[in-house]
Amino acid sequence: MNNNILYITNPKLSFTWLENKKRQWLISSINMNSNLTKDTLSEFFISILFECTKPLDKNNILNNFMNLKISRVECEAILEELIKYNILIEKDSKTELSSWIRNYTLSYSDYSKDDVSSQDKQKMIKYNNECNYPEITKLHTGEKYKLKHPSMYKLPKMKKIQDIMNCNSILNSTVISKDLLSGFLFYLFGSQRVGTFHDFMPVLCKSYPSNGARHILDLYICLKDLSWIDDGMYYYNPIEHTLILISDQSIKKKGITLIVTVNYERMQWRYRHSWVYRDVLFELGHFIQHLKFICFGYGISFTEESDDFPGDILSLQDLKEEIAIIVGLGR
């Protein structure tokens, strides 16, 4: 990412207007570790919202806020933190409030018009010229373990659809074989094909739906005490159908643990509004039901886990990614 960031990469970061005696503007943050302090920033924010209707020089902003009983040193520290978290953006040596936050309007495409596709394409080209299109998978470079494609061997037969829908499958707390895990991952999360949108935007097609084919979820797998692979934390590459070792740190939990993370930027790059957090939840819900369907189909037991895997082990980017769910398999 370059310094001219034109959108907020996390839809959960927004401003909230509190109708109380102090009438404050606050930062609302859901399950997010942020150093932004709401008490200190309240008056500062409401001033920015009114003053920054056009690009302003840093010094002009600081000078305008000296009457808020905040020292210049404190203002400079707050300003730098706002810039750090992309709440304020720097553009042509100016500092302004991101228009994505300031404008509380939800853009949409009118598909009754014949030129809606060409208009959307031009908008995406503009976005891409301003800020590069996000990668559709994580670019980890560790040791790779190639998994077999399910067409190369015979998988156990899945249960009947009616039994799965009625949850009549028997779930086994047994060791999952290499071949079964390979097929499980492919049908759960693997790319069925890679398409191209508007002639330049690569998109994944998976076996569960995603709004705009954004596919914002990534899958990490913690493996321990399996005979066919070294212990460690792996990233599952859905295009290559490979496991990529990203950490061999000591893992406590035995067997197979799935860690599903959310990459907000893939959604925000295209839609650029906090409203898409709803679509984040929809996609996560689709994935969870898809996971349960496959587990019931193959008779694999699963449990929701609450282990705290540090973000630095997973190489997650602050505010752009976070852990959504953790699931243990075969126990």
108 burial (CB, 10 Å; 0-12 / 13-18 / 19+) is exposed
Question: Within a 10 A sphere around the Cβ of 230, how many other Cβ atoms?
Answer: 12
Is the pLDDT at 35 greater than 70? The verdict is no
Question: Please, what is the Cα angle at 196 between 190 and 198, to 5 degrees?
Answer: 145
Q: Using one digit for the tens of pLDDT, what is the confidence trace for 69-125?
A: 667 787 777 777 666 655 666 665 555 544 444 444 556 677 788 888 999 999 899
Query: In the chain, what is the straight-line distance between the N-terminal and C-terminal CA atoms, in Å?
Result: 41
Q: Using one digit for the tens of pLDDT, what is the confidence trace for 174-227?
A: 568 888 899 999 999 999 999 999 999 999 999 999 999 999 999 999 998 888
Is the pLDDT at 306 greater than 60? The verdict is yes
Secondary structure of 100-156 in the HEC alphabet? HHHCCCCCCCCCCCCCHHHHHHHHHHHHHHHCCCCCCCCCCCCCEEECCCHHHCCCC
Domain architecture of the chain: domains with CATH: 14-102 (1.10.10), 144-329 (3.40.109.10)
Q: Which residues contact 227 (CB under 8 A, 6 or more apart)?
A: none
DSSP 300: B
Q: Using one digit for the tens of pLDDT, what is the confidence trace for 286-297?
A: 999 999 888 888
Overall average pLDDT of the 4-15 stretch: 55
- Is 73 strand, coil or helix? helix
Structure-model confidence comparison of residues 233 and 64, the more confident one? 233
12 burial (CB, 10 Å; 0-12 / 13-18 / 19+) is middle
Token pair belonging to 323: 């852990």
- What CA–CA distance (Å, rounded) separates 325 from 306? 8
- Is 317 strand, coil or helix? coil
Overall average pLDDT of the 128-154 stretch: 89
- What CA–CA distance (Å, rounded) separates 230 from 144? 11
pLDDT of res. 188? 95
**What string of DSSP letters covers 4-54?**
---S-S-TT-EEEE--STT--EEEE-SS------HHHHHHHHHHHHHH-SS
pLDDT of res. 114? 86
pTM, whole model, 2 decimals? 0.72
